[in-house]
C-alpha cells in the first residue's frame, strides 16, 4: 500500500465571486481536491508543490511513490508535499461531471476551456488558504511541468525552485496527436455531444484516445524491445486473420480498456486541450519578457527518447532562459521509456534529483 496523505481535502472558493478563466468564462463555485504528505513547518517554508500530469490525481504517492523517502526528493520528515487535482479532472476537483449551477445539469461538454495558467492561479489560492507564501519547490512532469513553469513566471516571488520534466510548449506534431485523441472521443456516437450518463461514457473513443496517447508516451526503442514483431501473446495469428493482432496491438487495446474504467471522456477533452494551449508567449519577444520574470532556480529535464516533448526542445527552452538571465540547469534523463520515463523510470529520476 502506498504512503497515505496526512491530509486529503477539498478547498472550495469562488462561491460568491466567480473564478474568471483565461477563456473569458467564469465558474462558480470551484472545488480543488488536494492531498498533503508530511506537514508544513512553523514558518511554512518547507512546502513542495507537485503538479500532476494528464490522468494523475492529487494523491502523489499513488503514482510517484519512488520519489518519496529518506534521501529521495520527497522526504516527508522534512518536507510537506502538496498536490492539487487539476480543474476539469474526474479525481475530485471541479470538472465536467459537476452540476453547472446556472443550468442545474452537469457541465458535460460545456465545461469551459481550462488553461495551465488557470490551474496555477487556483493552486495559488490554495496556497494562500494553507498560509504558504513561498514554495520551496514546484515540480511536475508533462502537464505538471507546464504548471511548474507557469508558476515560476506568474508568481516569481512565490517560487524558490522550479523543476519541470519533459515539458515545453508543444509543437505542431504534438498538437496534431492531441487533436487525434480528442477526435477519437468526439467521433464516438456514445459521446452524445458530451451529454452521456457516467455509466455509459464513450468507452471506445476514450480507449482509442488512450491507445494513441500511449504511442506518444512510449518510444520506438521500447516498443521494439518489448514487442518487436511478435504476435499477440494470447495466441492470435495476425498473418491469418484480419482481426488478429500483433503484440503491440494487444498492449494498446489493453491500455485503453483499463483506462476507461478510471477516467472520464469529458475530463480527457478538457485536460488534453489545456496541454495544447500552454505557451510561453505568442511571440519570441513576449516569451523573452515572460521568461525574464523568473527568479526561481530552474531545473529542466529532457527525456532522451521523448518524441512528444523532444529533449532538444526542452534543452532549447533552457538556453532561451539562460539568455535572459535565469539560473537554469538542463539535465537529461536517459531512458527508452519515452515521455513516460518520469513515471516509468521514477527511481532514476529520484536519483538524478536527490533530496530537495
Is-catalytic flag, 142? yes
Report the nearest approach of its own copies to the CB of residue 279 (Å). Answer: 7
Catalytic residue among 306, 336, 340, 345: 306
- Decide whether 38 or 112 has the Cβ nearer to its own copies: 112
| H helix runs in 227-283, sequence order | 247-260, 265-277
Measure the CA–CA gap between 244 and 143, rounded to whole angstroms: 35
- Decide whether 85 or 266 has the Cβ nearer to its own copies: 266
Grid cell, residue 162, equals 522550479
Is-catalytic flag, 339? yes
Report the nearest approach of its own copies to the CB of residue 182 (Å). Answer: 8
Catalytic residue among 174, 272, 339, 340: 339
Segment 341-348 long-range contacts (CB within 8 Å, at least 24 positions apart): 341/166, 341/303, 341/305, 341/306, 342/141, 342/142, 342/165, 342/166, 342/301, 342/303, 343/53, 343/63, 343/64, 343/141, 346/64, 346/65, 346/66, 346/67, 347/66
Report the nearest approach of its own copies to the CB of residue 213 (Å). Answer: 10
- Neighbouring CB atoms inside 10 A of 233's CB total 11
Catalytic residue among 57, 89, 142, 219: 142
Report the nearest approach of its own copies to the CB of residue 89 (Å). Answer: 15
Q: Which residues bind its own copies (CB under 8 A)?
A: 22-24, 109, 111-113, 115, 169, 171-173, 175-177, 179-180, 183-184, 186-189, 204-205, 207-208, 211-212, 215, 219-220, 223-224, 226-229, 238-243, 245-249, 252-253, 269-270, 273, 276-277, 279, 310
Report the nearest approach of its own copies to the CB of residue 353 (Å). Answer: 29
- Decide whether 188 or 345 has the Cβ nearer to its own copies: 188
Pairing of strands 7-13, 30-37: antiparallel
Q: Quick one: 205 exposed, middle or buried, by C-beta within 10 A (0-12, 13-18, 19+)?
A: buried
Cβ–Cβ < 8 Å for 207, 253: yes
Active site residues: 142, 306, 339
Amino acid at each position: 500500500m502506498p504512503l497515505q496523505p496526512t491530509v486529503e481535502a477539498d478547498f472550495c472558493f469562488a462561491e460568491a465571486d466567480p473564478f474568471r478563466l483565461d477563456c473569458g468564462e467564469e465558474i462558480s463555485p470551484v472545488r480543488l481536491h488536494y492531498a498533503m504528505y508530511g506537514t508544513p513547518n512553523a514558518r511554512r517554508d518547507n512546502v513542495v508543490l507537485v503538479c500532476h500530469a494528464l490522468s494523475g490525481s492529487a494523491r502523489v504517492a499513488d503514482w510517484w511513490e519512488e520519489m518519496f523517502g529518506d534521501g529521495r526528493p520527497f522526504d516527508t520528515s522534512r518536507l510537506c508535499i502538496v498536490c492539487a487535482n487539476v480543474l476539469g479532472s474526474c479525481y475530485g476537483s471541479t470538472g465536467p461531471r459537476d452540476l453547472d449551477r446556472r443550468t442545474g445539469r452537469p457541465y458535460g461538454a460545456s465545461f469551459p476551456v481550462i488553461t495551465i495558467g488557470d490551474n496555477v492561479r487556483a493552486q495559488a489560492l490554495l496556497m494562500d488558504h494553507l498560509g504558504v507564501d513561498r514554495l520551496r519547490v514546484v515540480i511536475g512532469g508533462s502537464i505538471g511541468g507546464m504548471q511548474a513553469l507557469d508558476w515560476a513566471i506568474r508568481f516569481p516571488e512565490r517560487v524558490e525552485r522550479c523543476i519541470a520534466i519533459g515539458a515545453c510548449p508543444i509543437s505542431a506534431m504534438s498538437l496534431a496527436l492531441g487533436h487525434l485523441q480528442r477526435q477519437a472521443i468526439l467521433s464516438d456516437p456514445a459521446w452524445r455531444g458530451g451529454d452521456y450518463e457516467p455509466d455509459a461514457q464513450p468507452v471506445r473513443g476514450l480507449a482509442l484516445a488512450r491507445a494513441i496517447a500511449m504511442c506518444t508516451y512510449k518510444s520506438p526503442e521500447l516498443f521494439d524491445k518489448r514487442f518487436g514483431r511478435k504476435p499477440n501473446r494470447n495466441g492470435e495469428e495476425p498473418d491469418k486473420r484480419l482481426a488478429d493482432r500483433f503484440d503491440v496491438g494487444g498492449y494498446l487495446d489493453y491500455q485503453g480498456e483499463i483506462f476507461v474504467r478510471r477516467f472520464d471522456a469529458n475530463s480527457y477533452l478538457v485536460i488534453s486541450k489545456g496541454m495544447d494551449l500552454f505557451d510561453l508567449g505568442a511571440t519570441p519577444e513576449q516569451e523573452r519578457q515572460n521568461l525574464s520574470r523568473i527568479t526561481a532556480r530552474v531545473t529542466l529535464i529532457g527525456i532522451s527518447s521523448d518524441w512528444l516533448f523532444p529533449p532538444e526542445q526542452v534543452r532549447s527552452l533552457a538556453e532561451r532562459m539562460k539568455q535572459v538571465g535565469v539560473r537554469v540547469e538542463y539535465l537529461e534523463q536517459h531512458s527508452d521509456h519515452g515521455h513516460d520515463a518520469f513515471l516509468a523510470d521514477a527511481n532514476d529520476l529520484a536519483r538524478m534529483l536527490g533530496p530537495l
